[in-house]
C-alpha cells in the first residue's frame, strides 16, 4: 500500500510540475514583462551568489589538482595535469558542482520566500490588487535563474582553473603562460558547448522547482520550511538526471 501511495505521489508531483512549467511558457513569457523585477532578481540570484560560487570553485580546482597529481605521477604523465584538470572542470565538474551549490542557495531561498508569501496570503492580495503574481514572482525568478547560472558556471570555471594553477605549482614551477597554453591547447569547442548548454537547463530546473514548491506551499511556517527543503532536494536530483541525459545526447552527437 505504501509503494502505491509513493508512486501516486511521485506521478502527481511530476504532473503538477509539468503543468506549472507549461503555465510558465504559456503566460510567463508573454507581455507585459516585469523588467525591473527581472533585473533585481538577476542581481540577487547572480551577483550575490558569486562569492560562494567563486570560493567553492577555487577550492574545487585546487583539491582536484592535488588529488590527481600522485596518480598521474605514478603513470609518468604528470606533465598532462593542467590539461586533464581543465577538461574535467569544463566538461563536468564545474557545471554540476556550481549547479548544486546554486540549488542549495537559490532554490531554498526562492522556495522559502514564495512559501512565506503564500501562507501569509500576500500572493492572494496581489491577485486582488490586479497584479499578476505568476508573472511578477515566478517568471522573473525562473528567467533570472536560467540566465544567471551559465554566467556563474563560466566564472566558476575560470576561478577553478586558477585554483588548479596554484595546485600545479605546489610541487613544481610552471609559469602562468605555460599553464594556460596547456589548458587551451587541449580544450576544443566540443568540450565547452555541451557544458555551457546544459547549464541553462540546470538553471531552469532550479528556478522552476523552487518557484513551484514555494508557490504551492501550505500548512503555515512548517510548510515554508518543507518547501525550501524539498526545493533543494528535488532540484539537486533533477540536475543529475539532466546531466545524465546531456551526456547521452553529447555522446550520440559525437562531442
Query: DSSP string spanning 189-202?
Result: HHHHHHHHHHHHHH
Whole-number pLDDT of residue 123: 82
The values of phi and psi at residue 236, to 5°, are -65, -45
- Nearest 5 degrees, angle CA 9-CA 13-CA 17? 175
Residue 137 domain-assigned (yes or no): yes
Q: Which domain holds residue 180?
A: 34-253
1 has a pLDDT exceeding 60: no
Residue 29 domain-assigned (yes or no): no
pLDDT in tens, 88-146: 999 889 999 999 999 999 999 998 888 888 888 888 888 788 778 888 888 999 999 99
Q: Is the pTM of this model over 0.85?
A: yes
d(CA 103, CA 83): 29
Average pLDDT over residues 186-203: 90
Q: What average pLDDT does the chain have? A: 87
Q: Is 236 exposed, middle or buried (0-12, 13-18, 19+ CB in 10 A)?
A: middle
Angstrom CA distances, 73 to 3, 67, 81, 89, 170, stand at: 50, 11, 9, 20, 14
Average pLDDT over residues 37-52: 92
Residue 6 domain-assigned (yes or no): no
d(CA 217, CA 196): 32
Residue 123 domain-assigned (yes or no): yes
Residue 1 domain-assigned (yes or no): no
Determine the angle formed by the axes of helices 220-253 and 189-215, rounding to 10 degrees.
160
Residue 214 domain-assigned (yes or no): yes
Cell of 242: 539532466
Residues in contact with 144: Cβ distance below 8 Å, sequence separation at least 6, in sequence order: 38, 41, 42, 44, 45, 46, 207
Residue 134 domain-assigned (yes or no): yes
Question: 92, 137, 20, 47: which is closest to 239 by C-alpha?
Answer: 92
pLDDT in tens, 172-194: 888 889 889 989 888 888 888 88
d(CA 169, CA 65): 10
Whole-number pLDDT of residue 2: 66
Number of structural domains (the chain) is 1
Cα 176 to chain centroid, rounded: 30
Amino acid at each position: 500500500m505504501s509503494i502505491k501511495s509513493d508512486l501516486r505521489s511521485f506521478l502527481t508531483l511530476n504532473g503538477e510540475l509539468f503543468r506549472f512549467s507549461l503555465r510558465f511558457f504559456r503566460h510567463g513569457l508573454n507581455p507585459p514583462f516585469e523588467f525591473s523585477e527581472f533585473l533585481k532578481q538577476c542581481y540577487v540570484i547572480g551577483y550575490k551568489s558569486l562569492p560562494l560560487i567563486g570560493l567553492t570553485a577555487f577550492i574545487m580546482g585546487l583539491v582536484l589538482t592535488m588529488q590527481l597529481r600522485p596518480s598521474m605521477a605514478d603513470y609518468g604523465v604528470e606533465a598532462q595535469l593542467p590539461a586533464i584538470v581543465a577538461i574535467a572542470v569544463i566538461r563536468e565538474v564545474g557545471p554540476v558542482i556550481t549547479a548544486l551549490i546554486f540549488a542549495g542557495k537559490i532554490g531554498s531561498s526562492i522556495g522559502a520566500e514564495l512559501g512565506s508569501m503564500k501562507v501569509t496570503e500576500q500572493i492572494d492580495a496581489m491577485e486582488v490588487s490586479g497584479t499578476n503574481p505568476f508573472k511578477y514572482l515566478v517568471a522573473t525568478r525562473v528567467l533570472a535563474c536560467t540566465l544567471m547560472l551559465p554566467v556563474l558556471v563560466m566564472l566558476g570555471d575560470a576561478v577553478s582553473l586558477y585554483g588548479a594553477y596554484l595546485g600545479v605549482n605546489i610541487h613544481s614551477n610552471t609559469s602562468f603562460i605555460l599553464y594556460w597554453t596547456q589548458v587551451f591547447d587541449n580544450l576544443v569547442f566540443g568540450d565547452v558547448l555541451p557544458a555551457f548548454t546544459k547549464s541553462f537547463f540546470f538553471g531552469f530546473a532550479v528556478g522552476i522547482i523552487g518557484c513551484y514548491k514555494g508557490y504551492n506551499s501550505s500548512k503555515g511556517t512548517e510548510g515554508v520550511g518543507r518547501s525550501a527543503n524539498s526545493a533543494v532536494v528535488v532540484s539537486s536530483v533533477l540536475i543529475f538526471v539532466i546531466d545524465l541525459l546531456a551526456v547521452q545526447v553529447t555522446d550520440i552527437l559525437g562531442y
